[in-house]
Amino acid sequence: MAGEPVVAVCGKGGVGKTTLAALLARLLRDDGRRRVLVVDADPAVGLGMALRIFPARTVNDVRKEIISAVREHAADQVDLAASVDYKMMEILEEDGNLAFLSVGRPEEEGCYCQLNTLLREAIESLSSHFDLTLIDAEAGVEQVNRRVMRSVSHLLLVSDTTTKGLRVAESIREVAEEAVEYRKLGLILNRVRDPAEAQKAGTKTALPLLGAIPEDDTVREFDASACSFLEMPPCPALEATRELLLESGFLSP
């Protein structure tokens, strides 16, 4: 059964995943027709910073609450399972047609596995209440490998035009063949300086190329300032993202 789109933005570290996710969030906010669940799945904080949305509580806070409830025998397992859905709804930060979920960051290394499991459950249960879900993933293959992205229907692989970026995108696709139930997948080249550069990079990979986002000073300035991408003025990167959505048909069924 084809449910509502669950879009994840994945790729190598630093290639522009958060930038693309923020531009998409901005366009979906402007369009206003869909209720969108926006997920910052990066414990290093990505999309929250770009959109200047800082939820009071995170998925990691819910994880800690569950652990203390179990320790204090304050809840039996059945109650707990039912309350996870409710707790996830409760921690959403609403802003117009966007509802924002942040994964947060555990204090200790050993908690990432639990956190990823809870994040997967949160994405799977919450996304059914929204018209579209948009996820800014952690860099690399880990969250895909750990099946956090299992229910993702549309996988956007971002890369710069370097061979290294393209190879990471390809390895994410390989892992996704087993670990993600995706319906569509495509490559987006970012920080492209001229069309010839994009064309050349496109020939270095078998990934289906959806489009290219130009190198854009407005993006860099916004990143350096305390401004939200939701307030960004029209600029080439935003226009390219709009075209990509309209022309690629990526989000059409």
Ligand X SMILES: Nc1ncnc2c1ncn2[C@@H]1O[C@H](COP(=O)(O)OP(=O)(O)OP(=O)(O)O)[C@@H](O)[C@H]1O
Site residues, Mg ion (CB under 5 A): 17-18, 46
Binding segment for ligand X among 51-59, 116-124, 204-212, 213-221 (CB under 6 A)? 213-221
Q: Which is nearer to ligand X, 14 or 195 (CB)?
A: 14
Q: Using CB under 6 A, which residues numbered 73 to 112 contact ligand X? A: none
Antiparallel, parallel or unpaired: β 98-102 and 36-40 = parallel
Q: Which does 216 bind (CB under 5 to 8 A by kind): Mg ion, ligand X, none?
A: ligand X
Per-residue string for binding with ligand X, 183-212, x by CB under 6 A? -------xx---------------------
Closest listed residue to residue 88, CA positions, set 63, 52, 51, 67: 63
Contact (CB, 8 A) for 161 and 198 = yes
Considering only residues 148, 152, 237, 244, which one is a binding residue for ligand X as defined by CB under 6 A? 237
Sheet containing 6-11: which strands, arranged edge to edge?
93-95, 98-102, 36-40, 132-136, 6-11, 154-159, 184-192, 209-214
Distant-in-sequence, close-in-space partners of 204: CB < 8 Å, separation ≥ 6: 163, 166
Report angle CA 101, 106, 109 to the nearest 5 degrees.
140
| 220, 231, 247, 249: residue in contact with ligand X (rule CB under 6 A) | 220
The single residue among 93, 131, 215, 239 that binds ligand X, judged by CB under 6 A, is 215
Nearest-approach distance from CB 245 to ligand X, in angstroms: 16
